[in-house]
C-alpha cells in the first residue's frame, strides 16, 4: 500500500512518525519500523517455534514474508522515482508497509506505481515455485515443516499479491481502481468511489471473520474499513478546499511572543486567549513556533522561568498565502497542526487544524444552502 500525501510549500524536513524505531535506507528512501511491527515479528517467531519445523526455519519464514512486504514497498518507490516522484519514507506496520510519496501522482502514473508492489510479490511467488520444481500438494502446506519452507514462502507471496489487488482502498487494488476511474472522472470523485468500495469490502470481511471466528480477518477488515473511511474523508476535504488559497482560511488576528519571553509569560498568554500556538519573534523576524505541547514540556522540564527560545520549534511548517489550500491541508495534522503563513519573510497569518476544520464546515453549509436555493 502506498500513502500519498501532497506536498506543502517550503515544508521542513520530515519528522519520523511517532513510535518508529530504527531506520534503514534503500535506494535513498528511509525505511522505518513501527514498534508494533517489531513486537509482531518477535511474537510470530515465538509462537511458530515447535511442531515439525525448527526455530531457525520459523525465523526464516517470518522474516522472509516481512522482507517480501518490504520489497513490495520498495518497488512502489522505484517506479515512483521513474516519474520523478520522491518517496519521503517507508514505514513498516504490523498490517503491512506504507510508502509516503511527496506528491500525488497523475492517474496513469498511479496505475503503474500501484501495480508495481503486487507484481513484485507475484513474480517472487512464481519464481520460487519454478525454482523448487516439485510443488507439494496444498494439504501438505497447511502443516509447517522444514521441508516445505520454500513453497510456503512462495504461497505467502502469491496471497500477498492477490490480496493487495482487491479493488478497495487502502490497498493497491483500490488505487488501481481510482486511477482507472480518474481517467474519466475528477480525482476526488474517483477517490470517493474507491473508498466506498473499501468500506464495503471491510464490512464484508468483518462479517465473514466474525461468523467464521477468524479474528485475524476481523482485524484486517477493521484496518481496511478505517483506511477507506480516512481516504474518503480526505477526498471530501480536498473537494471542499479546492480552488481556495491559504489566505482564505488563515488566521489574521493572532498573538506573538518575543524570544526573550519566559515560559511563564507564554503560559499566561495561553490562558488569557483562545490561541494555542505562538510565533516567536525577534523584532519582525520569525525565529520559531511555540506549540502548546512544547510549552507544557518546557514548563515541566526547564521550569517557568526558562525562555521560550529554548522550547520553540525552529523547523516549523511555512506556507505561502497563495498556495493551494487543497494541497497543503494534509500537512496540517499531528505534530504540525499549525503552520506559519509567510509572504516572503513577513508573517501574515496562521493556519491551524482547528480553523481549517471550521473552514470546511462553513463550506459544507454554504454548498448545502446553494443546493437548496437552486432546487425547484
Q: Which residues are catalytic?
A: 73
Do 295 and 261 touch, CB atoms closer than 8 A? no
Q: What is the three-class DSSP state of 334?
A: coil
DSSP H/E element including 143 = none
| Pairwise CA distance, residues 354 & 327, whole Å | 17
In whole angstroms, what is the distance from residue 196 CA to residue 169 CA? 8
Amino acid at each position: 500500500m502506498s500513502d500519498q500525501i501532497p506536498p506543502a510549500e517550503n515544508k521542513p524536513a520530515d519528522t519520523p512518525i511517532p513510535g518508529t524505531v530504527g531506520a534503514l535506507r534503500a535506494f535513498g528512501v528511509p525505511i522505518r519500523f513501527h514498534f508494533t511491527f517489531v513486537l509482531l515479528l518477535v511474537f510470530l517467531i515465538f509462537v511458530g517455534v515447535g511442531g515439525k519445523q525448527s526455530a531457525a526455519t520459523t525465523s526464516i519464514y517470518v522474516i522472509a514474508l516481512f522482507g517480501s512486504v518490504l520489497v513490495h514497498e520498495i518497488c512502489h518507490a522505484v517506479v515512483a522515482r521513474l516519474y520523478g516522484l520522491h518517496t519521503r519514507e517507508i514505514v513498516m506496520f504490523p498490517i503491512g508497509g506504507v510508502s509516503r510519496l511527496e506528491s500525488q501522482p497523475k492517474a496513469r502514473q498511479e496505475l503503474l506505481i500501484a501495480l508495481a508492489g503486487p507484481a513484485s510479490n507475484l513474480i517472487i511467488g512464481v519464481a520460487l515455485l519454478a525454482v523448487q520444481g516439485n510443488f507439494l500438494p496444498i494439504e501438505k502446506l497447511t502443516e509447517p515443516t522444514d521441508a516445505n519452507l520454500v513453497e510456503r514462502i512462495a504461497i505467502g507471496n502469491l496471497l500477498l499479491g492477490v490480496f493487495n489487488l482487491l479493488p478497495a482502498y487502502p490497498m493497491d487494488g483500490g488505487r488501481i481502481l481510482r486511477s482507472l476511474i480518474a481517467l474519466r472522472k475528477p480525482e476526488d470523485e474517483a477517490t470517493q468511489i474507491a473508498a466506498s468500495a473499501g468500506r464495503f469490502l471491510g464490512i464484508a470481511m468483518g462479517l465473514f471473520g466474525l461468523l467464521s471466528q477468524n479474528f485475524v480477518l476481523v482485524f484486517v477488515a477493521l484496518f481496511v474499513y478505517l483506511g477507506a473511511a480516512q481516504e474518503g474523508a480526505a477526498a471530501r476535504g480536498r473537494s471542499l478546499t479546492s480552488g481556495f488559497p491559504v489566505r482564505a482560511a488563515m488566521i489574521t488576528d493572532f498573538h506573538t511572543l518575543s524570544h526573550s519571553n519566559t515560559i511563564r509569560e507564554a503560559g499566561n498568554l495561553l490562558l488569557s486567549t483562545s490561541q494555542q500556538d505562538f510565533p516567536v519573534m525577534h523584532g519582525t523576524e520569525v525565529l520559531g513556533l511555540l506549540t502548546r505541547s512544547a510549552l507544557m514540556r518546557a514548563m515541566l522540564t526547564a521550569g517557568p522561568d526558562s525562555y521560550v527560545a529554548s522550547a520553540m520549534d525552529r523547523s516549523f511548517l511555512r506556507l505561502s498565502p497563495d498556495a493551494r489550500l487543497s494541497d497543503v491541508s494534509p500537512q496540517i495534522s499531528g505534530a504540525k497542526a499549525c503552520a506559519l503563513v509567510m509572504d516572503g519573510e513577513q508573517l501574515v497569518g496562521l493556519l491551524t487544524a482547528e480553523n481549517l476544520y471550521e473552514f470546511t464546515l462553513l463550506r459544507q453549509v454554504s454548498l448545502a444552502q446553494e443546493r437548496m436555493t437552486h432546487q425547484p
